[in-house]
Amino acid sequence: MSYKDIRSFTEMMRALGYPRLISLENFRFPNFTLVAEILQWLVKRYDPNVELPDDIDTEQDRVIFIKSIVQFMAVKGYIKLNAKKLYMADGYAVKELLKLTSLLYEAMRTKTDNDLESLEDDSGISYNFDITSKSGDLKVTRQLASEITVKGASLYDLLLKEIDLRENRGQVLSKQLDITEIEQGIRNATRGLEEEIQKTNTMIENIAADEANLEAKIEKRKMDLERNQKRLQTLKSVRPAFMDEYERLEVELEELYKIYVTKYTWMAYLEQQLEELERLEQELMLQKEEVTKRMVEKLRQDDLLRSEETGNLDDFLIVNVENDAGLSGVPREKPRRPQPAPSGVRRDAHRRVYGSMSGGDKDDDLDTDSDIDLDGEDDDGSEVSDDDQDLENLSDLKIATNSAHADSDNDF
């Protein structure tokens, strides 16, 4: 609930003639008694013949009272009130009370305006309600109101002292007046006034002396100001001796600054290019490493395939020899199979491979076969591959087989 709504409600209730003074602080905390009294007064103002329950001591009686008010206003005045907020009886209840209050206030204003119009029609006198011309009076009224408040507070304090002052006043009035004492008092008062007058005259004389001193200081300051202004004009008109050199150095400084900016820009660009080159070199190194790894893997796979083919051919030769030996009846010595390497790959015992893992030139790549020394190399430098050796063994077996068949035919 805003402060504006509470203030409007209190002003409307005062205008409607509510007998009790409503403060802005009455609705800070729940106050059901006040809310019930205001509701009953407003409803009676709206319809004097309405009958409402008066008992609000218990919770049930309060609920019945709020319900009767809400139902009456909904039926008679077509005003919807929130029963929960009214029962809370705090700042939120003011908004509901403001609905009924604004209705009665508008009706009263309408009646007042109609009465004024009828009076103007009857008397022919026009009333001017423009208060813009009385804004000065409003300021004076506020000042007087504040003074009245201050005077009232001081008067209240003085009246509190009246009890003690009354006794003192009675004692003084009961005494007989002594002319000598009165004369002495008058003389003392006169002497005090003379001293005050003398002090005032002395202050006036001092003020005159101070004024003369101030005028002298002002004149001195004016003379200093004029002298400084003349000196300033002289300095402006005279060109310093080092001004030419200053301007020349300033031009040189501008040129040097431009050169500095240009070189700094070039240096930043070159640093950026250097970083790009380093990054590209790093990427190329990584690519070379990947290519080298793939080549090594390919060579390893080729060795595996070659060893597997060699093992299959050896098995085939062994089977043919056994068959020939069975036909001829002559036992033959089984050729020895090469033993597999510890890694599971069959390799010759004396096979050596030469080369490097890094890529070389094209000429080096073409001559890589000359760097490989296999087991079948002769002393004179001739090289025999495994496939050629297998073919020679196979031809020898065929010749032996044919000779065996020829011997068997001769026996028959």
Residue 343 covered by a domain: no
Please list, in sequence order, all residues whose beta carbon lies within 8 angstroms of the beta carbon of residue 39, skipping any fewer than 6 positions away.
69, 86, 97, 100
Cα separation of 190 and 188, whole Å? 5
H or E stretch covering 315: helix 243-328
Report whether pLDDT(348) > 60: no
307 compared with 259, residue with greater pLDDT: 259
Tell me the CATH number at 90.
Answer: 1.10.418
Cα 323 from Cα 332, distance rounded (Å): 10
Within a domain: residue 251?
no
The amino acid present at 297, given as its one-letter code, is E
Domain boundary among 246, 272, 305: 305
Share of the chain above pLDDT 90, in %: 21
Which domain-ending residue is among 270, 305, 340?
A: 305
Six token digits for residue 43: 């409803």
Is residue 374 over pLDDT 60? no
Residue 384 lies in a domain: no
Quick: pLDDT tens for 33-80: 888 888 888 888 888 888 888 888 888 888 888 888 888 888 887 888
Return the higher-pLDDT residue of 188 and 358.
188
Mean pLDDT of 351-363: 47
Q: Tell me how far apart the alpha carbons of residues 26 and 6 are, in angstroms, rounded to a whole number.
A: 10
Is the confidence at residue 360, as pLDDT, over 80?
no
Which of 114, 135, 169 is the C-terminal boundary of a domain?
114
The percent of residues above 70 in pLDDT, for the chain, comes to: 69
Query: Residue 315's pLDDT is what?
Result: 60
Residue at 192 is within a domain: no
**pLDDT, average across residues 147-151:** 91
With both helix axes pointing from N to C terminus, report the angle between 91-123 and 32-46 in degrees, rounded to the nearest 10.
Answer: 30
Residue 156 lies in a domain: no
List Cβ neighbours of 397 (8 Å cut-off, separation of 6 or more): 317, 320, 321, 324
In this predicted structure, the answer to whether residue 28 has a pLDDT above a threshold of 50 is yes
Average pLDDT, the chain: 76
Over residues 335-346, mean pLDDT: 46
Domain extent for 286 = 258-305
Please state the domain count of the chain: 2
At residue 180's C-alpha, the angle toward residues 175 and 181, to 5°, is: 50
357 phi and psi, to 5 degrees?
Answer: -80, -25
Does 337 reside within a domain? no
- 3-state class of 378 per DSSP? coil
* pLDDT beyond 90 at 23: no
- Is 183 within the bounds of a domain? no
10 falls in which pLDDT band (50, 70, 90)? confident
Look at residue 1 in the predicted model and tell me its pLDDT: 57
User: How many Å apart are CA 372 and CA 367, to the nearest integer?
Assistant: 10
pLDDT at 349 over 90: no
Q: What is the mean pLDDT of residues 338-344?
A: 46
> Which tens digits make up the pLDDT trace of 318-327?
555 555 555 4
Residue 67, CA atoms < 13 Å, CB-side half-sphere: 6
What three-state secondary structure class fits 285?
helix
The angle formed by the CA atoms of residues 359, 362 and 368, to the nearest 5 degrees, is 70
Residue 37 domain-assigned (yes or no): yes
Q: What are phi and psi of 47, to 5 degrees?
A: -145, 105
Give the Å distances, CA to CA, from 381 to 49, 348, 370: 142, 19, 11
Q: Is the pLDDT of residue 21 over 50?
A: yes
The helix/strand/coil state of 377 is coil
